[in-house]
Amino acid sequence: MKKSHIIGLLVIAAAIAIIITTAGDASSYVSFDEAYKMATVGNKGSIHVVGELKKDPAGNISGLENSPDNLSFSFLLVDDNKKEQKVYYNEPMPPDFTRSEKVVVIGSYRGNIFVADKILLKCPSKYQEQKLNAKV
Amino acid sequence: MFHYFIGNLGHLFVITTFVTAVIASFCYWKATVTTDLTARQNWIKNGRTGFLVHSVALLGICVALFIIIYNHYFEYHYAYAHSSIHLPIHYIVSCFWNGQEGSFLLWMFWQAALGIVLMFTQRTWEGPVMTIFSLVQAFLASMILGVVIPGLSINLGSSPFILLRDALADPIFKIQPDFIPADGSGLNPLLQNYWMVIHPPTLFLGFALTLVPFSFCMAGLWQKKYSEWIKPALPWTLLGGGILGLGILMGGIWAYETLSFGGYWNWDPVENAVYVPWLILIASLHTMITYKNSKSALAFSMILVIGVFILILYSTFLTRSGILGDASVHSFTDLGLSGQLLVYLLFFTVAAIVLLVMRWKEIPSTDKEISTYSREFWIFLGATTLCFMGFQVLLPTSIPVYNKLLEIVGVSSNAAPPANQIEFYSRFQLWFAVVVALLSGTGQFFWWKTRDKTKLKQELISSLLITLVFFVIIILVGEVRNPVYMALVLAGVYIITSNVKVLISVWKVNPKLSGGAIAHISIGLMLIGIMFSSGYSKVVSLNNTGLLLNKEMGTEFNRDNLLLFVNETRTMGGYDIEFLGERVEPRNKTGYVKRGDIEPTNDPFKVVATRDILFKGERLYNAKDTFEIYPENTFYEIQLRKGEKIAATLFPRIQLNPSMGGILPSPDIKRGVVSDLYTHVSSSMNRESEPEWGNMEEVKVKIGQQFFVNDYVSVLEQVERITTLPGIVLTDDDVAVRAKIRIEGEHDTYYAEPVFLIRNRSEVGRIGFEIGELGVKITLLNIHPDTNEFSLGLNGRQKDWVIIKAMEKPYINLLWIGTGLLMVGFGVAMMRRFNEKV
């Protein structure tokens, strides 16, 4: 066997290994129900859930609780299936949290609480704004 | 008044650049395929004229756009969306490339400049190379064309000269079509940083430089000059490797200094999208050098060079089409160019692959098996590893693309990128880096072709011994205990040791040949710097306040953030740390001003000093001076002390820009030789809502009598009748009395001046006085002339606070030193290749 063949085989093997590990480590976007099911069957992996903050009919955010020392907080997130879930985040509330339109939480269930390791906020971007904040 | 002329002129220039690029490409193509010499000369002449007119028009676009931004013509969407009146001049420049259209312009500008250089220096390659250059320019120009194709109603490109009323569907334009907003919405505060003035141009120059080797490679394949293209392409590839690497690292430094994720690299899709092409670019320049030395790996070089350019186009598509969506923390906007970007990507991918396949059989290759004892063998392995390194990052970064593709086929896919990006990528990239370092360290021993084996053994052993000695020292001094990190240190030391040896022997022969060795040494330094600063980044703001942790969750969480009340000392990471209050930044002087020392005016950008303002012993302003500030920015003065000695004063920042939809924290960094202390604000008081005051306490005091307010010693110094009161017109019948109360704060003396007012002989008014920093409000409630006493109402509230997170970044300077050295290495190598005769 020529050396180049051995290298060729190694290359293919390495490529396959990378594809498999990537597939294994890829997360997924799920609903809270699916995430809960995953947690009950012992799947501890982190998953993404996309949702919106719970709002009362007047449009105010409800269920937002800061810890007494302001160092962590919890909130209610409503996923695409309208399931409401309490999410805990062990960081101070991001300053623009309440302004966000959509929240992506990355984390997993611990008991009945979803613990987020990371939060991505989708804030209303100025580009999508079709209104001027016009001061005539 | 609308300035139509400049916009129309700009748009005319845009159309001109597109048309002339197409013409230039056509002429150069004709020049390349024509065999008749006179005809060829004429076509070349036409092509040149086309490309030069194209470049001039391009310059015209830039000037027109700059005039619009600089003069604040807010009737134009670009100026309105990216700038504002109060923006300092140097950031006006960054407004230029803040928008997608501007960044396309910047990219085209560099490519036009490179095109002109090649036009006059590469006579033999001019025809085919400039055909490709002009074609790429035409594609890019189409992105900013802003033309609707009649009949099809397809929008081709997005023009930077679009009027605000055409860009936004605001009802005001129906009522008042010539409405011009008084101010723009401003530049994203995150981009108001000096790195953002130089990072984008550097990065786009790097992008533009990848076009040069690609064009030469394509020209070589097309003209069947399979090996000749390497020589002119190599120095440009080296320049590209240096510039693109510098651009990426500048982005990292910007992130480190501005964003508050706690580091310089986040494995965000945006970063990955430029990191991957850079890796392949580095691989390609190694195989190109291999080919120059030993006539092997020609086809591999071609694949890599083409790959780099395609990857740049792919990354452009990823970051600008909006496809990344939820996967990135950067929010990208879809300008509706996805289709066009895809055409651009596919056109060059298909064209390059077809050409390569057509010519594949003719590409010369050596049947000779490469010897294990040759440098080429190790370079080949290294280049392959670099490709894998890129592949491993590219694969998960493209997950949103797979979802989209599956969606088109009708399968719904909900795959998401790995949840912990940093952990996921680092785990793999670290080992790849180890392998690359080991390979390149070893490859250096085969410097002058195949060597005598016994001599080789000697050199190898001595190098390994030196490596081991330094490795042990670093492990012991740096207290590295993690075996994975040890491997990285070992590989880093090995590449440094072996390349220092090469550097010494090469230097004796000819210092001009030392570029490669210098670059490899710097890679070793960077690896060790990255290992320490990221692997041993330590949160030092561990919570030690003893406050109640969240009951529900128990105490399983480490609290990484520290709550600081104003003027209360805590300990953190071996320092005494104290929050000294909120500061603002004057516009025209260097320094910080206490928020309590200024009064707002009607103009948010102007304030009045209430007392003499000193900063570091220097007088900035006198009392009653009016001066300009940046109202968006609040700084939090945080003092670190070791014993009595002040170790550092940090000013982490929060920027408020409601129209940008953001409240953005930026860190402040105490730089040290050994390590950086990195501090950012994680949460601060909400200034928009009224603070909650405690119940009022009433005291009766005489002049000169001491009392306590919120635990501060206070004295009523005097009470006087006043005849003027700002904001209120006093008549002769009114009586206004002002008390002056001195309050001794921890570091400073404050004066409260509440006012008691009797209007029309009967109505009583009281104007309380608040000292925000101390959390104190004092009201003059009543005057008792019979006893010479005064009733004061005292309110206290929770003191001002801030929550910070602080991290230690050990040996991060190795990374920056390595970066600088890497540029030197690339520079030396590039000069050598530019001056090379053969």
Q: C-alpha distances in angstroms, B361 versus B221, B224, B349, B394, B773?
A: 11, 11, 20, 30, 78
Phi, then psi, of B699 in degrees rounded to 5: -125, 150
Strands B606-609 and B662-666: unpaired
d(CA A136, CA B180): 8
Phi, then psi, of B383 in degrees rounded to 5: -65, -40
Give A129's contacts in chain B (Cβ within 8 Å): 168
How far is the alpha carbon of A9 from chain B, nearest alpha carbon, in Å? 13
Give A48's contacts in chain B (Cβ within 8 Å): 326, 416, 419
Phi, then psi, of A95 in degrees rounded to 5: -55, -35
d(CA B191, CA B205): 19
Give A132's contacts in chain B (Cβ within 8 Å): 164, 168, 170, 172, 181
The amino acid that residue B591 corresponds to is G
pLDDT on residue B423: 86
Give the burial class of B86: count Cβ atoms within 10 A of its Cβ; 0-12 exposed, 13-18 middle, 19 or more buried.
middle
CB B82 within 8 A of CB B187: yes
Closest CA to A116 of A80, A95, A85: A85
- Whether B563 sits inside 8 A of A117 (CB atoms) is no
The token duo for B11 is 């748009």
- Whether A19 sits inside 8 A of B182 (CB atoms) is no
Give A27's contacts in chain B (Cβ within 8 Å): 415-419
Buried b / exposed e over B627-652, threshold 16 CB at 10 Å, is bebbbbbbbbbbbbbeeeeebbbbbb
Phi, then psi, of B461 in degrees rounded to 5: -65, -45
Cβ neighbours of residue B638 under 8 Å, at least 6 residues apart? Answer: B564, B577, B578, B579, B580, B649, B650, B651, B652, B668, B679, B802, B804
Give B420's contacts in chain A (Cβ within 8 Å): 46, 106, 117-118
Candidates A27, A71, A91; nearest CB to B417 = A27
Q: What is the DSSP letter of A55?
A: B
The token duo for B143 is 């992105």
Candidates B392, B659, B662; nearest CB to A18 = B392
Digit-coded pLDDT (tens) for B203-255: 999 999 999 999 999 999 999 999 999 999 999 999 999 999 999 999 999 98
Radius of gyration, alpha carbons of chain B: 33
pLDDT on residue A136: 37
How far is the alpha carbon of B182 from chain A, nearest alpha carbon, in Å? 7
d(CA B23, CA B43): 11
Question: Which residue in chain B is spatially nearest to A105 when comparing CA positions?
Answer: B419
Q: Identify each DSSP E strand in B745-800 by its residue range.
A: 749-752, 755-759, 763-767, 769-771, 776-784, 789-796
- Whether A14 sits inside 8 A of B331 (CB atoms) is no
Query: Hey, CA dihedral for A4, A6, A11, A12, is it positive or negative?
Result: positive
Q: C-alpha distances in angstroms, A59 versus A55, A62, A132, B183, B264?
A: 5, 9, 22, 30, 38
Tell whether the model's pLDDT for residue A126 goes beyond 50: no
Would you list the DSSP string of B646-702? Answer: EEEEE--EEEEEGGGTEEEEE-EEE--SSEEEEEEEEEE--SSSPP-B---EEEEE-
The amino acid that residue B338 corresponds to is S
How far is the alpha carbon of A28 from chain B, nearest alpha carbon, in Å? 4
Question: Which residue in chain A is spatially nearest to B388 when comparing CA positions?
Answer: A15
Residue B491, CB-side half-sphere exposure with 13 Å CA sphere: 23
ipTM associated with this complex = 0.81
How far is the alpha carbon of A132 from chain B, nearest alpha carbon, in Å? 6
How far is the alpha carbon of B451 from chain A, nearest alpha carbon, in Å? 20
- Whether B803 sits inside 8 A of A134 (CB atoms) is no
How far is the alpha carbon of B485 from chain A, nearest alpha carbon, in Å? 21
- Whether B384 sits inside 8 A of A7 (CB atoms) is yes
The amino acid that residue A45 corresponds to is G
3-class secondary structure, B738: strand
Alpha helices (runs of H) in B97-158, residue ranges in sequence order: 100-121, 126-143
Q: B759 - beta bridge partners?
A: B763
Give A11's contacts in chain B (Cβ within 8 Å): 384, 388
- Whether B661 sits inside 8 A of A124 (CB atoms) is yes
Q: How many CB pairs under 8 A join A and B?
A: 155
Cβ neighbours of residue B564 under 8 Å, at least 6 residues apart? Answer: B570, B577, B578, B579, B638, B801, B802, B803, B804
d(CA B719, CA B722): 10
Residue with tokens 């017109």: B729
Q: Which residues of chain B have pLDDT under 70?
A: 153, 325-335, 367-369, 447-451, 543-559, 657-663, 687-689, 837-838
Question: Which residue in chain B is spatially nearest to A50 when comparing CA positions?
Answer: B326
Residue with tokens 């997170």: B805
Mutate to test the interface with A, among B86, B179, B303, B331 (most CBs of A within 10 A): B331
pLDDT on residue B689: 67
Would you list the DSSP string of B528-587? Answer: HHHIIIIIT-EE-----S-PPPPTTTTT-SPP--EEEEBT-EEEETTEEEEEEEEEE-BS
- Whether A70 sits inside 8 A of B170 (CB atoms) is no
- Average pLDDT (A32-51) is 82
- Whether A72 sits inside 8 A of B550 (CB atoms) is yes
Cβ neighbours of residue B808 under 8 Å, at least 6 residues apart? Answer: B537, B538, B540, B573, B675, B676, B677, B678
The amino acid that residue B340 corresponds to is Q
pLDDT on residue B411: 82
Give A99's contacts in chain B (Cβ within 8 Å): 661
User: Mutual orientation of helices B269-294 and B375-397 as an angle, nearest 10°?
Assistant: 160
3-class secondary structure, B792: strand
pLDDT on residue B558: 59
Would you list the DSSP string of B469-517? Answer: HHHHHHHHHHT---HHHHHHHHHHHHHHHHHHHHHHHHHHH-GGG-HHH
CB B189 within 8 A of CB B662: yes
- Whether A3 sits inside 8 A of B326 (CB atoms) is no
CB B67 within 8 A of CB B13: no
- Whether B170 sits inside 8 A of A132 (CB atoms) is yes
